[in-house]
Chains A and B, each alone.
Chain A
Amino acid sequence: MTLPLGIFYALSALMIGFSLVVVTSRNLFRGAMCLTASMGFVAAFFALLGGDFLAASQLLIYVGGVMVLILFVVMFVQTPDLFRARQTSVRWIPALLLAGGVGALFIRAFCHIESPTELPVLQPTSTALGHLLLGDMAVPFEVISLVLLAALVGALVFGLERES
């Protein structure tokens, strides 16, 4: 086994382990911390696949922004009796069967995909990505700012305390 493949398997095992804790842990706070670690490993895979700018944005936006928000909400709503309460619904066996079936189907389909063996050397992507975002992808790039504005207003509207 070569070194890159070994690194790949080690990262995959860690990421899958942390993700399993996310969906099985009774303590929501522990689940959120493990999700943070899992997002960090996804950033590692982005870096492994040549997306240096993407890995940095994944760390900044997910690990630095979204996860802090989720942790804040968990601390806001979690009461001590929730730590011991059962966290899975009664339908967990059909859910497990469905998820396992979908996963097995995907893996069965993906195993025979041929991939090219000759790949170009990894290059820094930030400059090219900036040109792409403000060139060919300018319309989605502008629309996404409207989406963010709408999300901001929506979060304020839902989050405001009603004066009664």
Chain B
Amino acid sequence: MITLAHMLCLSAILFSIGIYGVLARKSLIAILMSVELMFNAANINLVAFNRFLYPDSLWGQGLVLLVITVAAAEAVVGLALVIAIYRNTKNLNADDLHLLHD
């Protein structure tokens, strides 16, 4: 039988994969994709708590709907920024972006 601990451990693994991607990848698009992984780990947690601890309520699932919407808005604005940066610098390497530095 699947328990709450199974789901929490799964989402912890997914979250740490996302952390590694955000910290280690160079490309801005890859960093955005890793952030999406972390969003999904948090969503799995919310639905799991809803199912196992408060099965009579649906607040966890409603919150996940809001998180999905915010993540979609974040992806849209983030990708528009990526395209604007690419158009100006022809470079998406996060290590090389120091326009304000010098």
Contact = CB atoms under 8 A, between A and B. Distances in A.
Interface of A: 2, 4-5, 8, 12, 15-16, 19-20, 22-23, 28, 31-32, 35, 38-39, 42, 45-46, 48-51, 53-54, 57-58, 61-62, 65-66, 69-70, 73-74, 76-77, 82, 86-89, 91-92, 94-96, 98-100, 102-103, 106-107, 110-117, 119-120, 125, 128-129, 132-133, 136-137, 140-141, 144, 147-148, 150-152, 154-156, 158-159, 161
Interface residues of B, number: 71
Closest 6 pairs between A and B when the two form their complex, measured CB to CB: A103-B16, A115-B4, A95-B23, A106-B12, A151-B73, A23-B21
A148 to B, nearest CB: 6
Contacts of A158: 77, 80-81, 83-84
Interface string B73-85: 1111101111110
Contact of B24 (A5, A15, A23, A31): A23
B58 A66 contact: no
14 contacts: A5-B6, A35-B33, A45-B10, A46-B43, A51-B50, A54-B64, A66-B75, A69-B75, A89-B26, A92-B23, A103-B13, A106-B15, A111-B9, A144-B66
Contacts of B40: 38-39, 42, 62
Contacts of A115: 3-5, 52-53
Contact of B72 (A16, A66, A141): A66
A32 B9 contact: no
B62 A129 contact: yes
